[in-house]
């Protein structure tokens, strides 16, 4: 399956380059690079649970939003090159440490390694569900490859208009790809399944409210509920944190209480029941771990 790197079209950028000799838009070649692998408490409650999610952060990104909270690793800083076998051993160690799941963050450009590594880990008796934690900028064909590997899809749905997608992520086609990919995710995991308050199977869609984007965010929420109803969970997020000075002035502040409360009230008005909301002062850097090769 690593042959997919030789003419890489894993993500919607469709670079069609040989990543064994060059880097794609993601900034990565054909080696698996990881920046952190440790228990993480800052996911949705049924993902983090009481012990934490066994979170593996990968280097590089095929979307590269200007406001990315993991900006350094998305732009290919740091990281350690490991083999699929070493990745499998990391998963087994996280299970031993008490993780409730294996949580793969920004995994799209490493799908061949991930499939190989998870298969190896399961051969060594990994029993945890696997969470695919993605920006939503996915090809349905790539998602389909994961049907026997991934149990839970934890996906963003960032934009509903090509103008905003172009402005912040240089991806005017984001919305259609996100829609098609989400449809495939729901085919793989059509109903959420929980055991003792922990998600074992299903789809959670994250909707991050950006400053001055309340109307567009409401449009996203309406699309999700109109299309999938209670077959998915929607996570309404207010934790946007400016980590550097932006050329877009609205991105230099957090969202207001009014903006977020208006979004929550709109979701309630639609009748959404399967949702997560954030309380308190979430827009702080405690949500952003240190990418210091912990766990590697």
Distance between CA atoms of residues 138 and 230, nearest Å = 22
Mean pLDDT score, 217-239: 97
Buried b or exposed e, range 250-259, using 16+ CB within 10 angstroms: ebeebbeeeb
pLDDT score, position 137: 98
Question: How many folded domains does the chain comprise?
Answer: 1
For residue 296, tell me if it sits in a domain.
no
For residue 143, tell me if it sits in a domain.
yes
214 is in which domain, residue-wise?
A: 2-287
Q: For 179-218, what is each residue's pLDDT tens digit?
A: 999 999 999 999 999 999 999 999 999 999 999 999 999 9
For residue 294, tell me if it sits in a domain.
no
Mean pLDDT score, 168-180: 98
Angle in degrees, CA 225, 227, 229, rounded to 5: 45
Q: Is 217 helix (H, G, I), strand (E, B) or coil?
A: helix
Q: Give CA separation, 112 vs 6, 31, 250, 282, in Å.
A: 12, 11, 38, 34
pLDDT score, position 290: 84
DSSP string of 12-50? TT---B-TTTS--TTS--SSEEEEEEEEE--S-HHHHTT
207: Cα separation from own chain's centroid: 11
Whichever domain contains 137, its CATH number is 3.20.20.70
pLDDT of 287 above 70: no
Its pTM stands at: 0.96
Q: For 51-87, what is each residue's pLDDT tens digit?
A: 999 999 999 999 999 999 888 899 999 999 999 999 9
Rg (CA), the chain: 18
The percentage of residues in the chain with a pLDDT greater than 90, rounded to a whole number, is 92
Distance between CA atoms of residues 290 and 285, nearest Å = 10
pLDDT score, position 122: 98
For residue 295, tell me if it sits in a domain.
no
Distance between CA atoms of residues 12 and 138, nearest Å = 6
**Beta strands at 102-105 and 32-40: parallel, antiparallel or unpaired:** unpaired
Which residue is listed with tokens 């699309």?
A: 223
Mean pLDDT score, 261-279: 96
pLDDT of 21 above 80: yes
**Beta strands at 152-156 and 198-208: parallel, antiparallel or unpaired:** parallel
Q: For 114-129, what is each residue's pLDDT tens digit?
A: 999 999 999 999 999 9
Mean pLDDT score, 96-118: 98
Do residues 21 and 69 lie in contact, with contact meaning Cβ atoms separated by under 8 Å?
no
């Amino acid at each position: 399956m690593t042959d997919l790197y030789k003419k890489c079209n894993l993500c919607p950028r469709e670079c069609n380059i040989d990543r064994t000799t060059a880097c794609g838009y993601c900034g990565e070649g054909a080696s698996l690079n990881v920046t952190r692998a440790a228990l993480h408490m800052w996911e949705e409650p049924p993902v983090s649970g009481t012990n934490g999610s066994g979170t593996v952060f990968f280097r590089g990104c095929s979307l590269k939003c200007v406001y990315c909270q993991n900006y350094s690793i998305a732009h290919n800083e740091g990281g350690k090159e490991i083999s699929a076998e070493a990745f499998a051993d990391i998963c087994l160690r996280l299970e031993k440490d008490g993780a409730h799941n294996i949580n793969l963050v920004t995994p799209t450009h490493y799908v061949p390694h991930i499939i190989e590594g998870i298969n190896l880990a399961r051969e060594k008796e990994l029993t945890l569900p696997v969470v695919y934690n993605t920006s939503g900028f996915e090809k349905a064909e790539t998602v389909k490859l994961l049907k026997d590997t991934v149990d839970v899809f934890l996906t963003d749905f960032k934009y509903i208009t090509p103008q905003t997608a172009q402005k912040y992520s240089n991806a005017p086609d984001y919305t259609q790809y996100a829609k098609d990919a989400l449809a495939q995710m729901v085919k793989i995991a059509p109903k959420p399944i929980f055991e003792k308050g922990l998600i074992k199977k299903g789809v959670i869609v994250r909707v991050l409210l950006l400053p001055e984007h309340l109307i567009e965010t409401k449009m996203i929420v309406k699309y999700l509920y109109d299309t999938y109803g209670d077959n998915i969970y929607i996570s309404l997020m207010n934790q946007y944190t400016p980590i550097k000075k932006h050329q877009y002035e609205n991105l230099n502040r957090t969202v207001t209480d009014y903006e977020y409360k208006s979004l929550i009230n709109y979701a309630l008005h639609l009748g959404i029941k399967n949702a997560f909301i954030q309380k308190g002062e979430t827009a702080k850097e405690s949500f952003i771990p240190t990418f210091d090769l912990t766990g590697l």
